[in-house]
Chains A and B, each alone.
Chain A
Amino acid sequence: MNASPNSSPPPPPPPAAPRESLRLAPAFLRAWSGIWLFTWRSQLSWRRAPWLLVCLLALPLLVWGTIHSPRGWSRDPLPLGVPANQVLRFSRRLDREKVTILDKDQKTRLIEVFQKEYDRAQNDGRANPALEMSEADQKALIEACHQRIQESARSVLDDRQFALFRTFNQEMLNTTETQVREPAWNRAAPFYYWLIPCYFFILLPLSCVWGCGGLIRDELQADTLGFLTTRPIRRAMLVVILYLCQAGWLEIMALAETLLLFGAGRLREIPALGSLLLLFVGVQFLAVLAWSALGLFLGQVSKWYLALALVYGLIVELGIGAIPTNINSLSLTRHLKTLLSHNAELEGLFQWSGSGVLFPAGILLLAAALFVGLAALLFTFVEYHSTAEMQK
Chain B
Amino acid sequence: MNPVIQARELSRWYGMVMGLNNVTFDIPPGLTGLVGPNGAGKSTLIQIITGQLQPSTGSLTVFGQVPWDNPALLGRIGFCPEREGVPKELRPMEWLTGLARLSGLDPAQVPGRCEAILDKVKLSREHWSKRMGQYSKGMKQRVKLAQGMLHQPDLLVLDEPMNGLDPMGRQEIAGLLTEMAAGGASIVISSHILAELESLCRNILILNWGRILASGSQKEIRGDLKNWSEELSIQCDDPERLARHLFDARVLLGFDLDPAGGLLRIRVKDAPSFYAAWTGLLLGSEVTVYAIRSESRSLQNIFEKVTN
Contact = CB atoms under 8 A, between A and B. Distances in A.
Interface of A: 1-4, 6-10, 12-20, 22-27, 30-31, 33-35, 37-38, 41-42, 45, 47-48, 222-235, 380, 383, 385-390, 392
B98 A37 contact: yes
B281 interface: no
A10 B201 contact: yes
A22 B88 CA distance: 28
A230 B90 contact: no
Most chain-B Cβ atoms within 10 A of its Cβ — which of A3, A20, A27? A3
A23 B75 CA distance: 10
Nearest to A26: B104
A383 B54 CA distance: 8
B141 to A, nearest CB: 13
Given A9-B202, A16-B183, A23 B106 contact: yes
Contacts of A222: 85, 87-88
B31 to A, nearest CB: 8
B50 A226 contact: yes
Interface in B10-29: 14-15, 17, 19
A263 to B, nearest CB: 29
Contacts of A41: 89-90, 94
Interface residues of B, number: 76
Most chain-B Cβ atoms within 10 A of its Cβ — which of A16, A22, A25, A35? A22
Given A45-B131, A234-B69, A13 B182 contact: yes
A7 B183 contact: no
Interface stretch (B163-171, B244-252, B256-264, B292-300): B292-300
Contacts of B85: 222-224
A226 B52 contact: yes
Interface string B270-298: 00000000000000000000000000111
Given A17-B183, A233-B74, A233-B102, 5 more contacts: A10-B202, A30-B102, A38-B87, A233-B104, A234-B71
A25 B89 CA distance: 28
Given A6-B195, A42-B89, A37 B101 contact: yes
Nearest to B54: A383
Contacts of B15: 390
B220 to A, nearest CB: 10
Nearest to A4: B298
B305 interface: no
B217 interface: yes
Contacts of B200: 10
A2 B296 contact: yes
B61 interface: no
Given A31-B102, A34-B101, A228-B102, A383 B90 contact: no
26 contacts: A2-B297, A3-B222, A7-B218, A10-B202, A13-B30, A13-B181, A13-B182, A16-B184, A17-B182, A19-B152, A19-B185, A26-B102, A26-B104, A27-B104, A30-B102, A38-B87, A47-B89, A48-B89, A224-B86, A224-B87, A229-B51, A231-B74, A232-B72, A386-B83, A389-B43, A390-B15
Contact of B182 (A15, A24, A227, A390): A15
Contacts of A12: 202
Contact of B217 (A9, A19, A45): A9
A79 B179 CA distance: 87
Given A42-B89, A227-B147, A6 B98 contact: no
B73 to A, nearest CB: 8
